[in-house]
Structure 1
Amino acid sequence: MNAPRVRVQRRPVHGVLLLDKPLGFSSNDALQKVKWLLRAEKAGHTGTLDPLASGVLPLCFGAATKFSALQLDAPKTYEAIALLGVTTTTGDAEGEVLQERPVTADQLTPERLAAVQAQFTGPIRQVPPMHSALKKDGKALYEYARAGVEVERPARDVVIHALNMELTHDSQARIAIKFIVKCSKGTYIRTLGEDIGAALGCGAHLIFLRRIDTGGLGVERCVTLAQLEAMTDDERLRQVLPVDTLLAGHKPVTLEEQDAGRFLSGLRRRGPWPDAPAVAVYGERPHALLGVGHVQAGELIPGRLLSPIEIQQILQGAPRAHIERGTLETTL
């Protein structure tokens, strides 16, 4: 007879955990695993990372989920390896081989590589791969692909902010291209690898993909699932970074107690602030993130706001928060 399942007692957790997602996990699988380890009530991720890719996956908990869309729009940096001379149905090592072609020395001269690197730097257009989650008539493209149906996909504009390429070899000593790319949202690295191979005249498919940065959050700050599993409960909670980790590009604005309460009610405030498209707004006493907004013509206009309950919970989990907690209760 199976033992009864133990119900996990959930709790409010607010902040961002930077996960080094392992291979073989979908973004949602990784999220659910970490959510369970933290016993968190509410969680979300900041955009999918393929099961075949590893690397930076910011996971948002509680109040941080309100700002997860900011990471969707942020530039991302990847390290990838494309095997030359072989194309596949999926653009990566999971697919069936479509064509094999020899790779010749004249295709890989420094001058040729430099020309191709320049060709794919800056604004470019990409045709999304069939094996992607983009939807056509309410159905994901990969569902059509699995059924053997190819549908028309309009090319999309993306930006390659930086691209560095060099020759390397795979584990079988076959020649490949290693590249590090910083790109805009919506860029398909599999497609970039295929297009680089096509430009070199030999074809290519991706055999390695790792995201090393997203919006300034680098892989060196990440924790792995294995590390989390080995930690105590308190150690896991210490891996959760503050909510405003997601707001690095926002200018800080601090409000006095009276204005802080009114701002949290959704009211605009006037002050000596210069125009700014994105500001992170804090209460002065206690020091606490209230939300985001923008400043126009001396007016602070609220955007996404934390609730008083979320702010209280964050302060209760913060060192020395109890010193000024009474102030928060009376001013919010």
Structure 2
Amino acid sequence: MKKVVTFGEIMLRLATPDYLRFCQATEFTATFGGGEANVAVSLANYGLKPEFVTRVPKNDIAESCLKELHKYGVGTSHVVYGGDRLGIYFLETGAVARPSKVVYDRAYSAIAEIKPGMIDWEQVLAGADWFHWTGITPALSQGAADVCLEAIKAANKMGITVSTDLNFRKNLWKYGKTASEVMPALVEGCDVILGNEEDAEKVFGIKPEGFDVTATGGKVQAAEFESVCKQLMQRFPRAKKVIITLRGSINANHNTWAGVLWDGKQLFQSPSYDITHIVDRVGGGDSFMGGLIYGLLTYTGDDQKALNFAVAASCLKHTIYGDFNMVTVAEVENLMKGDGSGRVSR
């Protein structure tokens, strides 16, 4: 069984019910979520052995969070305790022409105050096949960025595949450093790089010529992003695969969804899905990453199938409430085969 280690922050998610705006809500639905934890849950559902590493306070809310991860089969034996609070984010789900909104309340969270040396990465990564992090983690604080770099260097030394989701979040980079200053040293140690149509531009200034994400009309042409993949691989020569997710936003409830993968020689393009009634798109990119890691570890040498699995898995996530993608390999593979009918299974 393949072992995958992910590192990052998990938060309490408080969402307004029934498409209510923040100013209308009198109650919030509480769940948990966070980029790297979401990936770990996907991998557990696919039968792999994920280990999620983070720092949380020693209190009942953090314990409830870890128990939620245990329920899905995610290991937390290397979680570090300390600090005073678990981060929170508030979600207002958009509809039609009104976009969703996220408000973060994660300043001074336990992981934001993490320091180098708090985690024994060689012990954590012993026996691991893969290590995954996202650009959200180094955005939290200098300490989080330093610990992330510690983990990447240890994984490189141990010959473990390292992946990143660039995940640029402008509202998080508040501690005096920009993503462009911090991210290059971290991405240099990565074998697999995932981003969307904005990440490469916002972090590295790399973009496809003549492309405007706000003017796609829901149609994103995969071939336009071959140049982005090539430029990222030139900038980070350790990378063996660069993947771009392609979201065409018709409105808040209706998106097209696809992806491309560049292996240094060939551009693989996935089928495009028309997602007409989105239930919850938060965690969509994480579900793609979870599917991609599973695909690359399982369908060895078949990058096309790995990409198709990632896109199909993420398509299904858009139908599931909460951050976690609670689907099975069989469900994803059925969609890959073209069964998107949604007929009752009995």
Pairwise TM-score range, normalised by the shorter structure? under 0.3
Q: What TM-score, normalized by structure 1, do the two folds share? A: 0.24
| Structure with bigger gyration radius | 1
| Bigger RCO (CA 8 Å, 6+ sep) | 1
Q: Name the structure where strand makes up a greater proportion of residues.
A: 1
Q: What TM-score, normalized by structure 2, do the two folds share? A: 0.24
